[in-house]
Amino acid sequence: MGFYRELQKTMRNKKSETSSSTVTENVRRTVFPRFFKVFLPDLCSHRLGISPAFIKHIDDRNFPWTCSMKGPSGHIWNVEVVSEEKDGVFFDRGWKEFAKDHSLELGNFMVFEYIGDRRFSMLLFDSSACEKVEALSAKPSGCSKEVVLSSLKRREDRPNFRYLNRRVLLSHRRSVTSSEIRRAMEAARSFKSDFPFFIRSIRRSDIYLHNKMYIPKQFAAHYLPNASVDFILQNQAGKLYNVRVYWNKKDQYITSGWRVFVFENNIEEDDACVFELVKERQFNIYIHRVVKELAPPTWAIEREDSSAIKTMIEISE
């Protein structure tokens, strides 16, 4: 208990040291909810559970989605947040890399702050009750492709997520920064039209693993029929794609052709897309890319043997 008392004292001192900052900054930081975790290698190396009582502070509970995790160094890691009915909510895909890059070890004390809009920040303390020095210079070690590959392999202890001979998309895009993600979203939000539209920050699950993309419920309720119907997507070059908008009482999503649209238009995670409903059954789509330089994704087959060993076999079209 002495360690945690020292940590509280350190955090109070840290707060007092910043009292010379503007009142606006101090007020702004106090409204962000926090929770802490103690790193236990056997439980926390591959994924980390979010405190159940903290979930109420997360504004988007339509899991899974990818968050931006800001480390003590100021660098950003992409970590997926997933929900499992019996076990709770976890930092999952990408957490293993985050933990490795920060050299997390037994007893490290982690304080997480949820800033909103799928963004977390983390403070890290060691057994001295001071901030861990190594973490202040930590950098992401992998590229986007490596994150995708590792995420596909992290299923050993989760039998409900078995995918055998599953066809997936592999990203070859470089790693991205939070400012690039923010810039793409700001560009999308500047869009104006007399037609109804919605903006979607593309999630990992929208493109790499699944052949579907969910439509915001409020938009669907106002503008789309309560039925599964054929739809057309038009890209910025005017090319048309046939897809299906599936309807049930809970959700509506684009499927049956969505993955082809993603592949041919080089859509990547965190790209901000505007879906403009120009006709009863047609969306015009405007893509605001996080990275301007294109690195087209490729197809691969994920295979798993009886020992739960996964292999990725890249294929050509």
Q: Is there a single domain that holds both residue 80 and residue 197?
A: no
Domain count, the chain: 2
User: What's the confidence (pLDDT) of residue 40?
Assistant: 93
Q: Is there a single domain that holds both residue 136 and residue 199?
A: no
pLDDT digits (tens, 9 = 90+) for 279-301: 999 999 999 999 888 777 776 65
Residue 307: is its pLDDT beyond 80?
no
Report yes or no on 310 lying in a domain. no
Report yes or no on 158 lying in a domain. no
User: Of all helices (H) and strands (E), which one includes residue 180?
Assistant: helix 178-189
**Tokens representing 62?**
């339509």
pLDDT digits (tens, 9 = 90+) for 97-156: 999 999 999 999 999 999 887 889 999 998 888 888 888 888 887 533 333 333 333 333
Ranked by mean pLDDT, which of 24-33, 257-266, 281-290 comes out on top? Answer: 281-290
CA distances from residue 312 to 17, 47, 136 in whole angstroms, order as listed: 50, 22, 34
Report yes or no on 27 lying in a domain. yes
User: What's the confidence (pLDDT) of residue 303?
Assistant: 54
Share of the chain above pLDDT 90, in %: 38
State the residue range of the domain holding 62.
Answer: 2-141
CATH code of the domain covering residue 122: 2.40.330.10
Q: Which amino acid is at 166?
A: R
Number of Cβ within a 10 Å radius of residue 291 = 19
CA 270 – CA 265 distance, rounded (Å): 14
User: What's the confidence (pLDDT) of residue 166?
Assistant: 54
Do you find a cis peptide bond into 64, omega within 30 degrees of 0? Answer: yes
Mean predicted confidence (pLDDT) in 196-206: 88
Mean predicted confidence (pLDDT) in 90-94: 91
Sign of CA dihedral 58, 182, 290, 253: positive
Residue 248: is its pLDDT beyond 60?
yes
Beta bridge partners, 313, equal 301
Residue 283 region by backbone torsions, left for phi larger than 0, else alpha for psi between -120 and 50, else beta: beta
Report yes or no on 151 lying in a domain. no
DSSP assignment of 74-128? S-EEEEEEEEETTTEEEE-TTHHHHHHHTT--TT-EEEEEEEETTEEEEEEE-TT
